[in-house]
A and B are shown apart, each in its own frame.
Chain A
């Protein structure tokens, strides 16, 4: 029986090796990975906690976890970047749940209640400084339905559980799960177009 042929782009294969070296205690490899990942992971942390100072502390915690757990990384289960994203998201979500004292701000909530065009313009504003990749993502996000986009944004960039997202959007949990699934699958399809 066959197993999957796992793609390794040039960068991804190099990152697998970097993680392996970090697992063996190689500090130079850790610095290389930091250079590669710190900006996108910091951007993610800022987006999740909406507080630059807290994001700095959380990014520190996350990189310490990367250092400690690199030895357990399994290339067959995820790409190196996804593995690091999971560590950052879990670190930020733990922080948000510990410090949750007020109703959570929901990104893009207004857009979902309004027209698709308005939602798209808000996304355009947020991605104003983006590079080519982000323009492609922006265009792809504009193509998926506002409901799917909002559910996906909440799943990706908030600490809310599916049940909490369902309460927030006043929809059954099953509908929320479907929106997230369809949103991600549609985004994949749109981004794959030449």
Chain B
């Protein structure tokens, strides 16, 4: 990475870019794994620096004071908007009722022709040094909006992380082995990978996450795991739209140790350290 980009990353984290440069940098951030990893590490440095400041506790009643202001905001926000024009309610109601009836009939007709709706599913792959074990989980009340869906997926990942007994596919690894699991939503193409342990890597090496379409055998680059000494953590990832379609129940994951420049890679070259190329 060149020093100009490093400088932009530093000033982005320190909030010292002007709005135009900030927007341009954010666009770059969303599609460059190495840059995002650097920003994430710099954010960690900034957070530790701030948390190391001499500690000052706010007064105990400050939260109550803030909440009273939030109450005012809610009251203000709930006021109806000013009415600028009169509205022909009578004709609206008449035409509105007709529209609702037409729409209902059309919906019934369409539903009678459609196949039964498919319940949304997420893919859970349990990973150990030699195996990947795939399970499909229902994704109840899955939101259609990708951002909302990301939060739902994060919530599910967090529940499994905090309570591994809920994992339907048990890892065959022992306590001392490398192990983890991946949770992937084929509809939004987003996922989380939880790592319990990975082998130590040398300087210049990196962990690389790969996603495999088990029906076609196609392997896609899912990104670099920006681990630097830590062996336990949860990471989110997303497949770019250009990576082709994904279908439920066909994804497998594995992690390799790669060397050389950290460019987007087309194929894994290093040793597999977690999961397996085949289910």
Residues of A bordering B, CB below 8 Å: 1-10, 13-14, 16-17, 20, 27, 30-31, 34, 38-40, 42-44, 46-47, 52, 55-56, 59-60, 63-64, 67-68, 74-79, 81-82, 85-86, 89-90, 126-130, 133-134, 136-138, 155-156, 162, 177-178, 180-181, 184-185, 187-188, 191-192, 194
Contact = CB atoms under 8 A, between A and B. Distances in A.
Contacts of B53: 40, 43-44, 47, 134
A156 B223 contact: no
Label chain B's interface by main secondary structure. helix
B158 interface: yes
A95 to B, nearest CB: 15
B224 A5 contact: yes
22 contacts: A2-B240, A3-B222, A4-B37, A5-B33, A6-B36, A6-B235, A7-B227, A13-B192, A27-B67, A34-B66, A40-B53, A60-B62, A77-B26, A77-B29, A78-B43, A79-B40, A82-B13, A82-B43, A177-B7, A180-B14, A181-B6, A185-B10
Given A1-B221, A8-B233, A133 B51 contact: yes
Interface in B62-120: 62-63, 65-67, 69-70, 73
B70 A8 contact: no
Contacts of A127: 52, 54
Interface of B: 3, 6-7, 10-11, 13-16, 26, 29-37, 39-59, 62-63, 65-67, 69-70, 73, 147-148, 150-151, 154-155, 157-158, 161-162, 192-193, 209, 220-229, 233-240, 242-243, 264-265
Contacts of A134: 51-53
B69 A60 contact: yes
A3 B223 contact: yes
* Leading 4 A-B pairs by shortest Cβ distance: A134-B52, A4-B36, A5-B223, A137-B52
A162 B16 contact: yes
Nearest to A90: B15
A126 B54 CA distance: 7
Nearest to A190: B45
Nearest to B162: A10
B10 A181 contact: yes
Nearest to A128: B54
A194 B48 contact: no
Contacts of A20: 148, 151, 154
B73 A67 contact: yes
Contacts of A89: 15
A43 B53 CA distance: 7
B66 A3 contact: no
A79 B43 contact: yes
Nearest to A63: B66
Nearest to B158: A13
B58 A39 contact: yes
A191 B54 contact: no
A17 B58 contact: no
Given A39-B58, A44-B50, A67-B70, A188 B45 contact: yes
A17 B148 CA distance: 10
A38 B62 contact: yes
B15 A2 contact: no
A78 B26 CA distance: 10
Nearest to A81: B47
Give the most central of B37, B52, B265: most A CB within 10 Å: B52
Given A3-B237, A134-B51, 10 more contacts: A1-B264, A2-B33, A5-B225, A5-B226, A8-B236, A13-B154, A17-B158, A60-B65, A78-B43, A82-B13
B71 to A, nearest CB: 9
